[in-house]
Structure 1
């Protein structure tokens, strides 16, 4: 199963180009990031990297996986924002008035009842 944290690390690796640069940016050890790359590859169930001595590089399939990971991360951020906006709107009172006079007494009363 894909983990958003793992996908974030995967995308960061793709952006940085090397495991050591990505590990530095993420403030984690390189072996930890290497394990995460194996976990991501296992979750997708296909090879995502060309492995050489002390170096890995994305395959064409790996590049597609990065784009899908970006999409999933973006959708997860949108989901959080949508829920937070909905919650905020549940606690908002909107009043429309063509004249300010009724608001003079209404607004203080609403503020008192719904701080």
Structure 2
């Protein structure tokens, strides 16, 4: 009677096709499930980017990582790292922090 049914041929073909694509992409850039490219965690921030960010900071009274990320078109984690570094250098000052976000101010403004 019953028993385990065999998988349809279409499912087997799809699996084989997926395996072949994975083998071809080993040397290429990784792509996430959403289709966007996965960027390496070791991001080098250029001096141009720092200057652009400092100009952006001079215009604002309050700075959050989200605002910086949207204005400069960088990821949120990179924006957090940049703001933390600028705070350590004394360019900006942290006024509020909780487990999710931090708020910084420009002491010159």
**Larger helix fraction of residues:** 1
Superposition TM-score, scaled by structure 1 size: 0.39
Larger radius of gyration: 1
Structure with greater contact order relative to length (CA < 8 Å, sep ≥ 6)? 1
Superposition TM-score, scaled by structure 2 size: 0.40
